[in-house]
């Protein structure tokens, strides 16, 4: 680990966790564009993403991120481990199905409801209270999300599936990710990284099982390998580690950046264009998020 990260972890674990989450989100933002460029049908896409992500995540965990692999493996044979594996398997499936179904902006704005789930789960599971300014930030950010979603059907060049179904898939992804991040913070002894990797692999095997042989073998290698071996394992390793050091609500709020940046990459890459109203709503969310993170993580802890 670079010296700067070690010093930051020692001096300010909360800032270290926030930085990890930020790195994870920024690495994740091109994911939707690579999905669009791959042109894969939904089940083959889900299959290759899940299996490659799971395998690479396990490799990173085993070689770099664990000192007691056997203990972490044993922790998965608990209700907490099974719950995280199930939740992450659902996340992998629902996000992929949603992106194939409708506009990237619709799905990513639905995923952006994650701070609501994280705040509620953190309140009941961790007794972490947001305070009135925290809830105000969440409410304001969700207001921006609603603006984007209401105009999401007007995006240009998006898939012509069900906007409602795509939104439901996005909300399910948000709930599952919020649960994963909250469990990571509450149960420090739980092997969250191998649990997430196994969950991804399960969704991958389901996807391959539902695919036909031609769609499994006829794939663009560059996009599949980029998604499965770089973007997904690196980003979710950072995101799953971050709640060890900072609140799940902060990690979830940072995930809103994907809603702002992800559609921008898709717009540049394949011409799937959000409307002016959608861009204004996304910009408002980014502003609220930035002010909230600065207030809670830097100004009060400096």
pLDDT surpassing 90 at residue 230: yes
Confidence at residue 302, expressed as pLDDT on a 0 to 100 scale:
47
Domain count, the chain: 1
Q: Which residues contact 120 (CB under 8 A, 6 or more apart)?
A: none
pLDDT surpassing 90 at residue 34: yes
Establish if 7 belongs to a structural domain: no
Confidence at residue 102, expressed as pLDDT on a 0 to 100 scale:
87
Establish if 1 belongs to a structural domain: no
Which pLDDT tens digit goes with each residue over 127-170?
877 678 888 888 888 888 788 778 877 888 888 888 889 989 99
Establish if 244 belongs to a structural domain: yes
pLDDT surpassing 60 at residue 10: no
> Residue 252, CB half-sphere, CA atoms under 13 Å: how many?
34
pLDDT surpassing 60 at residue 189: yes
Which of 275, 7, 77 shows the shortest CA–CA distance to 158?
A: 275
- In order of 39, 125, 182, 244, the CA distances from 186 in angstroms are 39, 7, 6, 8
Alpha-carbon distance of 264 to 33, in angstroms, equals 9
Alpha-carbon distance of 291 to 175, in angstroms, equals 24
Establish if 12 belongs to a structural domain: no
Establish if 184 belongs to a structural domain: yes
pTM for this entry:
0.85
Establish if 3 belongs to a structural domain: no
Alpha-carbon distance of 58 to 46, in angstroms, equals 18
Range of the domain at 32: 26-299
* pLDDT-wise least confident of 8-22, 42-56, 88-102, 172-186: 8-22
Write phi, then psi, for 273 (nearest 5 degrees): -105, 125
Q: To the nearest whole number, what is the mean pLDDT of the chain?
A: 86
Compute the radius of gyration of the chain from its Cα atoms: 18
Establish if 2 belongs to a structural domain: no
Res. 297 pLDDT band, cuts 50 70 90: low
Say whether 51 sits in a helix, a strand or coil. Answer: helix
Establish if 55 belongs to a structural domain: yes
Q: Which residues contact 47 (CB under 8 A, 6 or more apart)?
A: 204, 205, 206, 207, 208, 209, 210, 211, 216
Alpha-carbon distance of 190 to 254, in angstroms, equals 23
């Amino acid at each position: 680990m670079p010296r700067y990260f070690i010093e930051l972890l020692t001096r300010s674990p909360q800032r270290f966790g926030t930085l990890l989450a930020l790195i994870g989100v920024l690495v994740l933002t091109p994911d939707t564009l690579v999905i669009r460029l791959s042109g894969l049908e939904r089940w083959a896409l889900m299959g290759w993403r899940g299996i490659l992500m799971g395998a690479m995540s396990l490799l990173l965990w085993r070689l770099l991120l664990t000192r007691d692999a056997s203990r972490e493996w044993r922790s998965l044979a608990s209700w907490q481990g099974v719950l995280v594996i199930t939740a992450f398997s659902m996340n992998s499936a629902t996000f992929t199905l949603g992106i194939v179904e409708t506009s990237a902006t619709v799905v990513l704005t639905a995923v952006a409801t994650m701070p609501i789930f994280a705040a509620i789960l953190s309140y009941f599971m961790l007794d972490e209270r947001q305070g009135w300014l925290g809830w105000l930030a969440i409410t304001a950010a969700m207001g921006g999300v609603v603006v984007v979603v209401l105009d999401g059907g007007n995006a240009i060049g998006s898939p012509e599936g069900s906007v409602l179904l795509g939104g439901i898939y996005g909300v399910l992804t948000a709930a599952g990710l919020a649960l994963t991040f909250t469990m990571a913070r509450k149960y420090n002894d739980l092997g969250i990284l191998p649990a997430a990797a196994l969950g991804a692999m399960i969704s991958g095997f389901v996807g391959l099982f539902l695919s036909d042989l031609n769609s499994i073998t006829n794939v663009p290698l560059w996009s599949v390998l980029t998604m499965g071996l770089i973007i997904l394992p690196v980003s979710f390793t950072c995101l799953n580690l971050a709640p060890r050091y900072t609140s799940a609500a902060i990690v979830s709020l940072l995930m809103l950046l994907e809603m702002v940046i992800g559609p921008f990459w898709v717009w540049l890459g394949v011409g799937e264009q959000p409307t002016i109203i959608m861009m204004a709503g996304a910009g408002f969310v980014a502003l609220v998020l930035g002010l909230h993170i600065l207030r809670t993580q830097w100004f009060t802890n400096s």
